[in-house]
Structure 1
Amino acid sequence: MKRFRMSDGVELIADAWGAPDAPPAILLHGGGQTRHAWKRTAQTLAAQGYHALSVDLRGHGDSGWSADGDYGMDRFAADVRTLAQMQAAKPILIGASLGGISSLLAEGDAPQSVAAALVLVDITPKVDPQGVARIRGFMASHIDTGFSSVDEAADAVAAYLPHRPRPRSVEGLRKNLRLGDDGRYRWHYDPAFVHDRQTRDDSGREQRLSIAAARIEVPVLLVRGGSSELVSQEAARAFIDLVPHATYVDVRGAGHMVAGDVNDVFTQEVVRFLEGLPPGPSTRPPQPAVAS
């Protein structure tokens, strides 16, 4: 476990895989998730020669909470920029949903590039408002009352994601829950994060993200869930118009939570993208020599 302190004192927690001196790759989860969502992908990246860091965003998992309750895009983007600048080389930023928004702004708004490349997972400047409302509704559900057991929480997830086979064990879900003093389980994020999302004015969000996206010059991969309720094919094509050098792939059988729905295919697409990057200390790891 690694710890990173942000400028306002909030400490971010991360798990690490791979050699510390290998090219860095930072994995950033979506809203309401934790760093554990990336475990299998991070392990694969480590095997490919990267130093993979899976981070709990502020207000999530084991990371600290914003004392002032501020969970705006700029706060998350500043954290990602700080994390990137703490690495020995410019990292690959791999961000899903909220993590992708944060990565896009961290790179697109920076006076100088902070990343070697971006992988954006099912997120673009334009998103379906009904999909957003559905996700936020699920995150807000049970936020006060919680669940009597992990199994009850698993029932809620199964109802929300009917396309995903229910796991035989609920132990993995336990990492996304915290047990309160009242003996009830609640999602492992700051309730203020959800309240912030419910009250914040998002009217300028698309324009802000579009401007940032148009500034990005580093290699970009957009991975869209083939059945995404958030990012349409039209929105993905609009993103490619903004970032014409970007690569775009659909993952069949995946919804918004691509890595959780079809992890192996998702990870293969990321590895294929990374293999195509120009060699350098912050992009592709050095390849071993082959004896003749």
Structure 2
Amino acid sequence: MQVLRRDDAPALAVTAGRHPRSPATNPPVLLVHGMGGDHTTWRRIAADLESAGRRVIGVDLRGHGRSGRADYRLDDFRDDLAYVLDALEVPHADVVAHSLGAHAALRLAMAHPQRVRRLVLEEPPPMPRDAADLAEAITPGARLGERLRGLGALVADPRPFLRFDKTMPEQVGAQFQQIDTDWWQGLDRVSAPAVVVSGGPRSFLPPRHLRSLAQALPAGSFVTVEAGHSVHRDRPRAFAHVTRGHLFA
């Protein structure tokens, strides 16, 4: 792991592996975790991609893992991902991302469409479109069932949770309580083929909203894997199958 230190923003911890069999035509795969995780939550998926000959880059988002703490505006997460690609001299990448990380990846693809070749978006929380969305409270969070399913991972390795800045959910959640039609219109700028992965009705994110998100993307598709919010954790083989099918298409 290396730490990318910056004068005007928090340091970012990254892992940047290399694979000698990776064809030059295949860009690196950037893995972006969700709220409360870090790069280690992708171990199984990273190993699967590396075995297929892909270079994998993992990042600890600001306020997570070994990265620094700061403000947590949604566009800051986007800019951090762009900085990681710049610092590692990666002109473009495939991005596999979960929850808050998937939202940040979408913002990256909106702002810098040339930097993202393909997207795997696991349970990305959309911005509210109207008062009905606000009333549904489809913000990042976790129901009791989600928390219980996460206990095994927490017991196995509590470090991601212990290193996580507990002030973040309030700051991030407040931003998802604002109607943002511009965000939805900005999806037109995402040129990368994207698959939106829903965890089905057990997730706190209603599948119909994720389907609407996939339909709003110029090259979007929609897949359901019955698992709840953390598909890559609870159904790793199924998630790896979807990921490989999309990135190697």
Q: TM-score, normalised by structure 1?
A: 0.72
Q: Deviations over 1:133-169 (max 9, x none)?
A: 743xx8xxxxxxxxxxxxxxxxxxx87534x386499
Root mean square deviation of aligned Cα:
2.8
| Contact 2:103/2:124, CA 8 A, preserved across alignment | yes
Separation in 1, partners of 2:150, 2:66: 27
Separation in 2, partners of 1:97, 1:160: 13
Note if 1:113 corresponds to 2:114.
yes
Residues 85, 188 of structure 1: alpha-carbon distance in 2 compared, 3 angstrom cutoff: same
Q: Secondary structure at the match of 1:132?
A: coil
Q: TM-score, normalised by structure 2?
A: 0.83
Q: Which amino acid aligns with 2:14?
A: A
Note if 1:175 corresponds to 2:149.
no
Q: Give the gaps of 5 or more residues in structure 1.
A: 139-157, 178-186, 277-292
User: Superposition pairs for residues 48-127 of structure 1, below 5 Å?
Assistant: 48-66=52-70, 70-86=71-87, 87-110=89-112, 113-125=114-126
Number of positions where the alignment pairs a residue of Structure 1 with one of Structure 2: 238
Higher helix share: 2
Q: Give the gaps of 5 or more residues in structure 2.
A: none
Separation in 2, partners of 1:7, 1:272: 40
Q: Secondary structure at the match of 2:238?
A: helix
Q: Deviations over 1:47-101 (max 9, x none)?
A: 11111112110011111111xxx20101111111222333334111111111011
Q: Which amino acid aligns with 2:53?
A: G
- Percent identical among aligned pairs is 25
User: Superposition pairs for residues 193-272 of structure 1, below 5 Å?
Assistant: 193-197=168-172, 199-200=174-175, 202-205=177-180, 207-252=181-226, 254-272=227-245
Note if 1:46 corresponds to 2:50.
yes
| Contact 1:226/1:250, CA 8 A, preserved across alignment | yes
Residues 243, 201 of structure 1: alpha-carbon distance in 2 compared, 3 angstrom cutoff: closer
1:203 is displaced (CA, Å) by 1.2
Residues 96, 228 of structure 1: alpha-carbon distance in 2 compared, 3 angstrom cutoff: farther
| Contact 2:37/2:65, CA 8 A, preserved across alignment | yes
Q: Which has the larger radius of gyration?
A: 1
Q: Which amino acid aligns with 1:84?
A: L
Q: Deviations over 1:104-154 (max 9, x none)?
A: 0111023x521111111111525774453743xx8xxxxxxxxxxxxxxxx
| Contact 2:197/2:223, CA 8 A, preserved across alignment | yes
Residues 44, 210 of structure 1: alpha-carbon distance in 2 compared, 3 angstrom cutoff: same
Q: What residue number does 1:279 align with?
A: none
Residues 130, 228 of structure 1: alpha-carbon distance in 2 compared, 3 angstrom cutoff: farther
Separation in 1, partners of 2:154, 2:84: 34
Which among 166, 180, 185 is matched to residue 191 of structure 1? 166
Note if 1:32 corresponds to 2:33.
no
Separation in 1, partners of 2:225, 2:16: 26
Q: Secondary structure at the match of 2:115?
A: coil
Q: Deviations over 1:256-280 (max 9, x none)?
A: 111111111101110111110xxxx
Q: Secondary structure at the match of 1:116?
A: strand
| Contact 1:81/1:106, CA 8 A, preserved across alignment | yes
Q: What residue number does 1:161 align with?
A: 147
Separation in 1, partners of 2:37, 2:194: 23
Moved more, 120-129 or 188-197: 120-129
